[in-house]
């Protein structure tokens, strides 16, 4: 499984756009990139998944460059409720592969 590297923590203010970058230099051809969000004392929640280029849903956007060795989760206009830990995972999840979590990025949104 490809190892991922993310910043340990990030600070932001309400209304700002937040970009969290994840490095995955050893990503395999069939690997997908998936991001999860976790609030304290809760299970992780799926945010977005992509394979290449750009993916957007109602919550976030995911930017993946052509070499796929990194990815950036973009959260538009964050609010206090976006304070959480964000995990980047890489793997063949569409084939039932197990999810291995890295350290994650603790995002703190301030008023």
Partner 1 sequence: GAVVSQHPSWVICKSGTSVKIECRSLDFQATTMFWYRQFPKQSLMLMATSNEGSKATYEQGVEKDKFLINHASLTLSTLTVTSAHPEDSSFYICSAKRDSQNYGYTFGSGTRLTVV
Binding mask 48-87 for partner 1 (x = CB under 8 A): -x-------------------------------------x
Give the shortest CB-22-to-partner 1 separation in angstroms. 14
Scanning 11-19, 23-31, 45-53, 59-67 for contacts with partner 1 by CB under 8 A, the matching segment is 45-53
Q: Which of 106, 64, 65, 71 lies closest to 88 in space, CA to CA?
A: 71
Burial class (CB in 10 A: 0-12, 13-18, 19+), 88: buried
Nearest-angstrom CA–CA distance, 79 and 75: 10
Q: Which residues would be at the binding site for partner 1 (CB under 8 A)? A: 32, 34, 41-46, 49, 87, 93-94, 96, 98-104
């Amino acid at each position: 499984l490809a190892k991922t590297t993310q910043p340990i923590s990030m600070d932001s203010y309400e209304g700002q756009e937040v970009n969290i970058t994840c490095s995955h230099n050893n990503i395999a051809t069939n690997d997908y990139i998936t991001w999860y969000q976790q609030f304290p004392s809760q299970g992780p929640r799926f945010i977005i998944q992509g394979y290449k280029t750009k993916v957007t849903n109602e919550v976030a956007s995911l930017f993946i460059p052509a070499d796929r060795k990194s990815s950036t989760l973009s959260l538009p206009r964050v609010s206090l409720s976006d304070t959480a830990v964000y995990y980047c995972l890489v793997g063949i999840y569409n084939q039932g592969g197990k999810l291995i979590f890295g350290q994650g990025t603790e995002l703190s949104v301030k008023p």
